[in-house]
Every structure is written in C-alpha cells, then in structure tokens.
Structure 1
Amino acid sequence: MIFAAAIDVALVLVFVLIGRASHGEDLLGVLNTLWPFLGGLAIGWLVMRAWRSPLRIVWTGIGVWLGAVAGGLALRLVAGQGVQPSFAIVTALVLGAFLLGWRGIALLVRRARSRS
C-alpha cells in the first residue's frame, strides 16, 4: 500500500516538474503547483479506499486518477491559481497515463510472473 501511494505521489511530482520546467519555475513555483494535485490525489485515495487494492485499475486506479485531476483542478481554482481548458485536458491525459499506466504495467508483470 505504501509503495503504491509513493509511486502515485512520485508520478504527480514528475507531472508537475515537467510542467514547471517548461515555464522555468523555481522550487516555490513547483510547490505552488504540486500541493493541489497532492490534495486531489489524497482525496482520490480516501474516497476509493485505495489501500484495500491499490494496484487495481478498475475502480481504484480510475478513482485515484479522477480524484487527482478533479480535486487538483478544484483546489487550484479555490486557491485562485486558475485553470485554463488546455491545462485541464493535459492534466487529465498525463495523470491518466501516469496513474493508470503504472498499474497496468504492474498487472502485466504479475501475470507474467504467475505464468512462469
């Protein structure tokens, strides 16, 4: 469970670092962008009770992804950071690829190990 949560947090951080690097932001800019998405990720983990089956894509992975995206964007709006439609689309796509993608890879690895 802790391993899965750490991967999710690390991938959200990678998403933010990639985005902030394209804007030449400093550490404060990274932290300012990061916290809403970590909050959304936490919401997704809590709502989905992801600790029960953290590697499942359906429903856990989808719920965690939607929590990170919707919660993160909502927290950005509340904090006055603004959300452009293009940013929301990129956020949904990249976090979807990251948060669902690693779970898909883990599933493939588990299946391959069980066959051998």
Structure 2
Amino acid sequence: MSSLKTKAAATTSGKTVLAAAAADVVLILAFAAIGRDAHHREEPILGVLLTAWPFLAGAAAGWVVSRAWRSPLSALRAGVPVWLGSLIGGMLLRALTAQTVVLPFVIVATLALATCLVGYRLLAAGAARLRRR
C-alpha cells in the first residue's frame, strides 16, 4: 500500500512540475504577445516567439539554478528564481542579440513577469492553505 502512495505522490509531483513549467511558458508568451500587441508589431506568431525566447531561456536557467522542480509552486524557492532568471537572462540575451533594452521596458518586464511568475504561485499557496482549513 505504501508503494502505491509513493507512486501516486511521484505522479502528482510530476504533474505539478509539468503544470508549473507550462504555466511559466504560457505566461511568458502572454507577456510577449501583450507587449507586441500594445506596440502594433507585425508577424503575430513569429514575432511573439522572437520577443519571448530570451525570457523563456532565462526562465529555464532559473528553473535549473534553483532546482525549481523540487518545489515548483513555491513562490520563494521557484517563483523568485524563475522570475529573476527570466528577467535578467531575458534582458541580457536581448542585449546580446541587438533587441531593444530600454529602462521603461525593463521596468514593465520586471513588474509584469513578477506578477505572472510569482503571482500564480502565491495564489496556489493561498488556495492550498484554504483547502487545509
């Protein structure tokens, strides 16, 4: 019976990791899409991918450095490192590839990515606390 519980916990954990990683990808793509739409940029799909890839790469680095898969819904252990990875890595990669990096964009990206990547984890933690009560 205990091995069934262990397998169930591992399956749930794997699903949680995949869900958190997918949420990060979707939220970063949404950030890129909203930004491109606000500036009326052409090439909606390719353009969004061009805008998003540095932030996605940075988020992936944040996942690896923090080992976010260990606690993927933790705002502190996963959310903050993934956010900082996406922001810092994204801005560095944008600069290295001659994409725009200006202060207003850095400020907007800082706030938007923090709200998205840390925010849903805080909401998940709040929902978990409510379920325990």
Query: Normalization by structure 2: what TM-score?
Result: 0.84
Partner of 1:59: 77
Partner of 1:20: 36
Partners of 1:16 and 1:113 in 2: how far apart?
33
Q: Tell me which amino acid in the other structure corresponds to 2:23.
A: I
Task: Give the RMSD, CA atoms, in angstroms.
Answer: 0.8
Cα drift, residue 49 of structure 1? 0.5
Contiguous gaps of at least 5 residues in structure 2: 1-16
Partner of 2:126: 108
Cα drift, residue 87 of structure 1? 0.3
**Deviation per residue, 1:39-84 (Å, 9 max, x gap):** 0110111111000001111132111100000000111011111200
Moved more, 52-61 or 103-112: 52-61
Q: 1:78 aligns with which of 96, 101, 115?
A: 96
Partners of 1:73 and 1:2 in 2: how far apart?
25
Q: Tell me which amino acid in the other structure corresponds to 1:7.
A: A
Q: 1:49 aligns with which of 52, 67, 71?
A: 67
After TM superposition, which residue ranges in structure 1, 4 or more long, deviate above 4 angstroms? Answer: none
Partner of 2:24: 8
Partner of 2:6: none
Query: Normalization by structure 1: what TM-score?
Result: 0.95
Q: Tell me which amino acid in the other structure corresponds to 1:113.
A: R
Structure with more relative contact order (C-alpha pairs < 8 Å, separation 6 or more): 1
Aligned length: 115
Partners of 2:49 and 2:74 in 1: how far apart?
29
Partner of 1:32: 50
